[in-house]
Chains A and B, each alone.
Chain A
Amino acid sequence: MAMDYKGPIEYSIELAVEKICDLLKASYFISKRSVALLLLQDDEEIREIVRKNESDTIDDIQKVVKEAKAHFANPITYELALERQNEVRLIIEKAVKIKKETIELRERLSRLTMNPITGIPILLLVLYWGLYKFVGQFGAGTVVNFLEGTIFEKYLNPFFIKAAAHIVPWRILRELLVGEYGVITLGLRYAVALILPIVTFFFIVFSIIEDTGYLPRLAMLIDRTFKKIGLSGRAVIPMVLGFGCATMATMVTRTLPTKRERIIATILLSLAIPCSAQMGVILALLGGNPKAMLIWAGIVGLIFLFVGYLTSKILPGERPSFYMEVPPLRMPSISNVITKTFARVKWYFIEILPLFLLASIFIWLGVLSHLFDFMVNLLKKPVELIGLPAEASKAFLFGFFRRDYGAAGLYDLNKHGLLNGVQLVVSCVALTLFLPCIAQFLMNVKERGWKTGLGISVFILFFSFSVAFVVNFILTRLGVIL
């Protein structure tokens, strides 16, 4: 729709637009009129483009913009918005009839979710049933056990191993494909049997939550807290996704408006948000020990806020501002949820699968070159420093590449009675803060660039061990027995 902008009689916005259009010589991807209107509204991107394209007339153009601004009391953006609003109002008056509104059930429910007193219990319920029960226990437990334990371990892996033995004559290449850390036996299995179901279940819950319109309500509940750590309520979306898969959530930080927020979110996701795979391990290790679980949750929560607060103080840039539409609560439609989940899983898989395959190549190289033995030895010292038996170093290194292996390592240690309650808490804290997996590391590098991505990872490596050291020191000194 085209409309004429009015303004004072002696000088209209239209006049300025016409003058600028005459001065624009180059051709643009949008109409000259739009370029002129954007220039009048101080759009920086378009100003730079015009500056480059109109070297002859740029001074005259700027003169017109200045002249136009001088004729208006408010910024031109504001003037234009007012005129558009008037136009809209005229159309609506003619075309729309509005029924008298009443506060209905939906609105009551909406207020309950936004009031902190009722909203926080509702949030806990959503987390418990949606994330813990459905994604955690059913998706990451039952379904993964079936896919991984039965389909892959019993049928697919033996088949591929046999096939490779016939077709590929070189042992080293065979190792790469179907060895203990092979591209098929580890990379593909990990991606298809472990990550895919967890993420699919997570996306189902996420799509349902999203379609009910709950997320903006969560965002408004949490905005104040997030402001303290340099984020706005908007960041709640990647943070919630982080409980599913931190790698995917890091990808979603693209939706945050400033670079500063994206960096803070990436750090927090890598550091203090346990992904569903980590949660699985931690629940299994601490499940029978509520006191230890509480201490773990408290420490990780504190670290989340503390590191967020520090980075927001250190990183330069403006405070984020928060504004979000709160749509009415709606009943999600099943077909929408399915379509969305499917599209997301597909998109996620295309982005993630190569990373997992790459990870198995890295492990293959690491084992082949004995680099891993070297690194396990290197890790022994810090592992002992945080009060764990030296054997745990293998669990940490392999856990980085292969979560189930790392977990299994800790399970075994635990089963043999090598870990006491304090050591369990310490190892869980270290495991949570530690980079979740190599895919996350690669994603950090991909999204934030080499320098920042590597910097974040090195920081986390030292920080996670330091925190574990301090926790171990304090708990041991206090003589806590868990």
Chain B
Amino acid sequence: MLTDREEEILEALWGELVEKKNQSCDISVLKDDDIIKRLSDLDYVEIRNSQIKLTNKGREEAKNCVRRHRLAERLFVDVLDIKKRLVHEASCKFEHLLHKGLDENVCILLGHPRTCPHGRPIPEGDCCKDVKRVPKKIIMLLSELELNKKATISHLEAQNQAMLQKIIAIGALPNTGIRLIQKFPSFVFQVGKSQFAVDKELASCIYVRLD
């Protein structure tokens, strides 16, 4: 079992090596650090000439750590409604509790989110590949909502700024009540006192939480 510190080091390495696609990381400053040594002894990392790389085993573990962290962030923001500036701190503590199995439950609960609230991707878990197993969800895409059920917008995930701006212009903002009126041929929903028709692409930017 890794300690919290060790998991965080792995997360940092994931960011540098996998997401930023750096070949390796310079750790000359930390050369004699105990944690690095332990990670190396446990065969999570490989150190050569002060350059550190993730092993396959380390990579898998790092991926899971990052996944837990970002899922925790989503949980705090979307479900528990914790203010953004506290999210990171809270998630850092919480992620270590989300071990195998628990992270899957949270992921299912949240509707397999693709990004954390800061917009960084959440690595896929086994549960995301097999969405059919999903039990009743709390957070879901607007398009998955039943007609005429009352829900609240939990968050927006737009592919680009232009799409985000369109949804903002409509006033479909988080914590606003929403009710889906029609799904075909276009999506029609009611936000506040107004009804809007949008296409599938825009509707898929809106995530909702059942009331």
Contact = CB atoms under 8 A, between A and B. Distances in A.
Partners in one complex: yes
B92 to A, nearest CB: 15
Interface stretch (B40-48, B54-62, B93-101, B166-174): B166-174
A212 interface: no
Contacts of B196: 323-326
Contacts of B184: 116
A223 B197 contact: yes
Contacts of B143: none
A233 B197 contact: yes
A219 B197 contact: yes
A77 B162 CA distance: 10
Interface stretch (B9-17, B18-26, B124-132, B198-206): B198-206
Contact of B188 (A42, A220, A327): A220
Given A73-B84, A114-B182, A221-B185, A216 B117 contact: no
Given A116-B185, A221-B185, A232 B85 contact: no
A169 interface: no
Interface string A110-126: 11001110000000000
A75 B157 CA distance: 11
B185 A224 contact: yes
A322 B197 contact: yes
Given A82-B173, A111-B181, A220-B197, A321 B166 contact: yes
B119 interface: yes
Contacts of B170: 323, 325
A312 to B, nearest CB: 15
Nearest to A322: B199
B38 to A, nearest CB: 32
B195 to A, nearest CB: 4
Nearest to A10: B85
B118 interface: yes
B195 A325 contact: yes
A224 to B, nearest CB: 4
A321 B163 contact: yes
A225 B166 CA distance: 21
Interface in A1-18: 8-9
Contacts of B84: 8, 72-73
Contacts of B168: 77-78, 81
B202 A322 contact: yes
A19 interface: no
B176 interface: yes
Most buried by A among B165, B169, B188, B199: B199
- Interface size on B, as a range, is 35 or more
Interface in A316-333: 319, 321-328
Contacts of B87: 73
Interface residues of A, number: 38
B79 to A, nearest CB: 16
Interface in A75-115: 75, 77-78, 81-82, 85, 110-111, 114-115
A458 B85 CA distance: 61
A233 B195 CA distance: 16
A235 to B, nearest CB: 13
A78 B164 contact: yes
Contacts of A224: 185-186, 199
B176 A85 contact: yes
B109 to A, nearest CB: 21
A74 interface: yes
Contact of B85 (A9, A85, A233, A327): A9
A322 B199 CA distance: 5
A227 interface: yes
Contacts of A233: 186, 197, 199
B28 interface: no
Contacts of B186: 220-221, 223-224, 233, 322
Interface string A194-234: 00000000000000000000001101111111010000110
A421 to B, nearest CB: 36
Contact of B201 (A216, A217, A321): A321
A116 B184 CA distance: 8
Given A74-B117, A221-B185, A322-B202, A216 B197 contact: yes
A121 B136 CA distance: 38
Contacts of A327: 194-195
A227 B197 contact: no
Contacts of A225: 185
A42 B85 contact: no
Nearest to B173: A85
B11 to A, nearest CB: 17
Nearest to B148: A103
B161 interface: yes
Contacts of A220: 185-186, 188, 197
B204 to A, nearest CB: 11
B117 to A, nearest CB: 5
B173 A326 contact: no
B156 interface: yes
Nearest to A79: B84
Contact of B202 (A115, A216, A321, A328): A321
A75 B161 contact: yes
B197 A81 contact: no
Contact of A223 (B156, B169, B185): B185
Interface in B73-127: 84-85, 87, 117-119
Contacts of A223: 185-186, 197, 199
A77 B186 CA distance: 26
A9 B83 CA distance: 12
Contact of B199 (A75, A111, A227, A328): A227
Nearest to A86: B175
8 contacts: A74-B119, A111-B181, A219-B197, A222-B185, A223-B185, A233-B186, A321-B198, A327-B195
Given A224-B185, A233-B199, 9 more contacts: A42-B161, A73-B84, A78-B168, A111-B181, A217-B197, A321-B163, A321-B202, A326-B188, A326-B197
Interface of A: 8-9, 42, 72-75, 77-78, 81-82, 85, 110-111, 114-116, 216-217, 219-225, 227, 232-233, 319, 321-328
Nearest 7 A/B pairs, CB to CB? A220-B197, A322-B199, A326-B195, A220-B186, A81-B168, A323-B198, A224-B185
